[in-house]
Amino acid sequence: GRSAPGADDAAPALLAQIATWANAGNSEEARAACERYLQQFEPHAQVFYWLGLLSDTAGQGTQALNHYRKALYLQPQHPEALAHLAALLASQGDVVGARRLQERAARRERSDREPEQ
């Protein structure tokens, strides 16, 4: 079934709004907008990434881990989620997990540069 008219435009607009608020440090507004997005639209890696970042900034490491992992479940090569999750794991002493993510990110950059044969 088709979404409501305008839903196709509403999702990117809300994503842009989340980014604006998060970058401006308005974490409450950004977090509320993320929750609203997830209620209204299909799950989106970028939304879980923002939720992870907002939790991370608020010192909620466990929540942040869960959000980053959801982002990577939806988009396994999400560059920012990989980088932030790696940093978070490293800060929690999970050096092996962090290195694995960094290798995954590096692999992604290589495959971007070299066209698949």
Confirm whether 83 is domain-assigned. Answer: yes
Confirm whether 82 is domain-assigned. Answer: yes
Confirm whether 1 is domain-assigned. Answer: no
The boundaries of the domain holding residue 17 are 7-113
Confirm whether 2 is domain-assigned. Answer: no
**Which residues are CB-neighbours of 74 under 8 A, at least 6 positions away?**
43, 44, 45, 48
By residue count, the chain amounts to 117
Q: How far apart are CA 106 and CA 30, in angstroms?
A: 30
Q: Which of 28, 34, 74, 36 is nearest to 51 (CA)?
A: 34
- The count of structural domains within the chain is 1
**Which residues are CB-neighbours of 55 under 8 A, at least 6 positions away?**
61, 63, 64, 67
Q: Can you say whether residue 59 is alpha, beta or left, with left for phi > 0 and alpha for psi between -120 and 50 degrees?
A: left
8 A C-beta contact, residue 36 and residue 47: no
> In this predicted model, what pLDDT tens digit does every residue of 28-57 receive, in sequence order?
999 999 999 999 999 999 999 999 999 999
> In this predicted model, what pLDDT tens digit does every residue of 76-117 receive, in sequence order?
999 999 999 999 999 999 999 999 999 988 887 777 776 655
pLDDT band at 2 (very low <50, low <70, confident <90, very high): very low
Identify the CATH number of the domain in which residue 28 sits.
1.25.40.10
